[in-house]
Chain A
């Protein structure tokens, strides 16, 4: 199983771009990289997913280098409402619903 490592916490200010990096040195060929956001007292919510290169949606971008041993979630112009815990999940999500293990997450605090 691909183990993930993320910074425990990060601080930012409103309007800034935030980049959160996740290390996954033993990622397997079939593994996808998925990022989730979790607010207090709620279940995690899907943000973005990718396999390689760059993926962008309406809320974030995901950068994955060629060796896929890390990935970076980029949140453009954060607001106070982006204060949450962000999890990087690496797994063979499409293989019969495999064992999906979360890392410790990054607690992002956005200040005014």
Chain B
């Protein structure tokens, strides 16, 4: 049981390049999230997927797209990277609603540097 995994761990992009950040969970969780964390700052929600087949915008969705490929995988795409998107990106998942005592599980993060 690997929990929440993210790839790549680190990426350098040039302005205007595109890339996809991958996230997968093996806990059969329904909901998945993408957050970004800028240096010295808190986490900001980019997009989330309450269940397979649905996605919704968070606080800072501009410049990003997401795909909930299946129940396990939730990817984040930067179509045209900008230096302002330099950040650490965290994926998280949560079990099906109604299960008391459960909470979000976070992946190890992807560090993205846009030059």
**B106:A94 contact, CB within 8 angstroms:** no
Contacts between the two chains (Cβ within 8 Å), count: 74
If the complex has contacts A43-B92, A46-B103, A93-B94, are A100 and B45 also in contact, measured as CB distance less than 8 A?
yes
A99 within 8 A of B: yes
If the complex has contacts A87-B42, A102-B44, are A96 and B51 also in contact, measured as CB distance less than 8 A?
yes
Count of residues in B whose CB is under 8 Å from the partner chain? 35
If the complex has contacts A49-B101, A105-B42, are A98 and B50 also in contact, measured as CB distance less than 8 A?
yes
A112 within 8 A of B: no
**A44:B43 contact, CB within 8 angstroms:** yes
Q: Which of A36, A49, A99 contacts B45 (CB 8 A)?
A: A99
**A87:B43 contact, CB within 8 angstroms:** yes
Interface set, chain A 34-77, CB cutoff 8 A to B? 34, 36, 41-46, 49
Chain A interface SS verdict (over half) = loop
Residues of chain B contacted by A104 (CB below 8 angstroms): 41-42
What is the CA–CA distance of A41 and B32 in the complex, to the nearest angstrom? 20
Interface set, chain A 82-110, CB cutoff 8 A to B? 85, 87, 93-105
Apart from the given pairs A45-B106, A97-B48, A101-B58, 13 other A-B contacts in the complex at a CB distance below 8 Å? A34-B104, A43-B4, A43-B106, A44-B90, A46-B104, A93-B102, A94-B98, A97-B49, A97-B51, A99-B48, A100-B94, A101-B45, A103-B42
